[in-house]
Amino acid sequence: MASESRAVDPKPSNHRWRFFRAGGFDQVLLETGADLTSLEALDQKLWVALSCPVSGIEFDAKSLAFVDTDADGHIRAPEILAAVQWAGKVLKDPDHLVHREDCLPLSAIDDASDEGKSVLAGAKLVLFILGKPDATEITLDDVSDTERIFSQARFNGDGIVPAKSAEDPALAALIGDIIGSLGGENDRGGEPGVTAEAIERFYTEAKAIADWWDAVGKPETHPFGADTASRHELFHSLKPKIEDYFQRCRLAAYDGRSAALLGPADADYQKLAATTLRGDTEAVAGFPLAVAAAGKALPLADGLNPVYADAVRRFAVEIVLPVLGSAESLTDDGWATICARFAPYEAWLETKPATAVSILGEERVGTILAVDGKAALLDLVARDKAVEPEVTAIVSVERLLRFCRDLHLLVNNFVSFRDFYTRKGKATFQAGTLYLDGRSCDLCVPIADVAKHAAVATLSRVCLAYCDCARRGGGEKMTIAAAFTAGDSDFLMVGRNGVFYDRKGQDWDATIVRILEHPISIRQAFWAPYKRLARLIGEQIQKIAAARSKAADDRAAVQAISATGNVAAGKPVPPPPPPFDVAKFAGIFAAIGLAIGAIGTMLASVLTGILNLTWWKIPVVIIGIILAISLLSVFLAWLKLRKRNLGPILDANGWAVNAHAKINIPFGTSLTAAARLPENAERSLVDPFAEKKSPWKLYLFLAALLAAALLLWRQGYVARWFGR
Read off the pLDDT of residues 669-718 as tens digits, 9 standing for 90 and up: 899 998 888 888 887 777 777 766 666 666 676 777 777 766 666 666 65
**Which DSSP category does 561 fall into?**
H
Mean pLDDT of the chain: 82
Percent of the chain at pLDDT above 90? 32
Decide: helix, strand or coil at residue 291: coil
* Paired residues of 194 in beta bridges: 161
Q: In what order do the strands lie in the sheet with 192-194?
A: 161-162, 192-194, 185-186
Backbone angles phi, psi at 49, to 5 degrees: -130, 150
- Per-residue pLDDT tens digits for 502-516: 999 999 999 999 999
* Paired residues of 299 in beta bridges: 329
Among the listed residues 9, 105, 140, 85, the one whose alpha carbon sits nearest the alpha carbon of residue 411: 85
pLDDT at residue number 19? 94
550 vs 615 pLDDT, higher one = 550
Question: Which residues are CB-neighbours of 665 under 8 A, at least 6 positions away?
Answer: 521, 522, 641
pLDDT at residue number 724? 47
How far is residue 626 from each of residues 291, 573, 593, 609, measured CA to CA in Å?
Answer: 115, 60, 29, 17
Give helix 388-411 / helix 114-129 axis angle, nearest 10°: 100
Separation of alpha carbons 166 and 575, rounded Å: 112
pLDDT at residue number 146? 67
Is the separation of the CB atoms in 51 and 84 below 8 Å? no
Is residue 4 scored above 50 in pLDDT? no
**Which DSSP category does 300 fall into?**
S
Band of residue 83 on the pLDDT scale cut at 50, 70, 90: very high
Q: At CA 408, angle to CA 405 and CA 413, rounded to 5?
A: 125
Separation of alpha carbons 616 and 721, rounded Å: 9
Is residue 77 scored above 90 in pLDDT? yes
Is the separation of the CB atoms in 127 and 133 below 8 Å? yes
Q: How far, in whole angstroms, is CA 698 from its chain's centroid?
A: 63
User: Which parts of 432-521 fold into alpha helices (H)?
Assistant: 450-457
pLDDT at residue number 24? 83
CA dihedral for 386, 392, 398, 401, sign (positive or negative): negative
Amino acid, res. 70? D
Among the listed residues 190, 563, 166, the one whose alpha carbon sits nearest the alpha carbon of residue 378: 166
How many other C-beta atoms lie within 10 A of the C-beta of residue 497?
A: 10
Is residue 1 scored above 50 in pLDDT? no
pLDDT at residue number 45? 93
Burial of 264 (0-12, 13-18, 19+ CB in 10 A): middle
Tell me the average pLDDT across 173-179.
90
Amino acid, res. 93? D
Backbone angles phi, psi at 484, to 5 degrees: -100, 110
How far is residue 612 from each of residues 206, 608, 713, measured CA to CA in Å?
Answer: 116, 6, 13
According to DSSP, the β-strands at 49-53 and 656-657 are: antiparallel
Tell me the average pLDDT across 166-186.
88
Amino acid, res. 691? E
Among 125-139, 375-389, 550-564, 660-674, where is mean pLDDT lowest?
Answer: 550-564
Q: Rank 175-184, 279-288, 599-608 by mean pLDDT and report only the highest.
A: 175-184
Domains of the chain, residue spans? 19-151+393-420, 217-354
pLDDT at residue number 283? 74
Separation of alpha carbons 560 and 557, rounded Å: 5
18 vs 636 pLDDT, higher one = 18
* Paired residues of 512 in beta bridges: 467
Is residue 551 scored above 70 in pLDDT? yes
- pTM for the model stands at 0.63
445 vs 219 pLDDT, higher one = 445
Separation of alpha carbons 230 and 352, rounded Å: 17
- Per-residue pLDDT tens digits for 116-159: 999 998 899 888 888 888 999 999 988 887 666 666 666 777 78
Is the separation of the CB atoms in 136 and 106 below 8 Å? yes
Tell me the average pLDDT across 426-436.
95
Is the separation of the CB atoms in 32 and 426 below 8 Å? no
pLDDT at residue number 5? 47
Q: Which residues of 618-652 are buried (b: 16+ CB within 10 A; e: fewer)?
A: eeeeeeeeeeeebeebbeebeeebebbbbbbbbbb
Tell me the average pLDDT across 551-570.
66
* Paired residues of 515 in beta bridges: 465
Band of residue 3 on the pLDDT scale cut at 50, 70, 90: very low
Is the separation of the CB atoms in 126 and 138 below 8 Å? yes
- Per-residue pLDDT tens digits for 620-674: 666 666 666 666 667 676 767 778 899 999 999 999 999 989 988 889 889 999 8
Q: Classify 44 in phi/psi space as left (phi over 0), alpha (psi -120 to 50) or beta.
A: alpha
Three-state SS for 456-513 is HHHHHCCEEEEEEEEECCCCEEEEEEEEECCCCCCCCCCCCEEEEEECCCCEEEEEEE
Q: Rank 465-469, 475-479, 547-551 by mean pLDDT and report only the highest.
A: 465-469
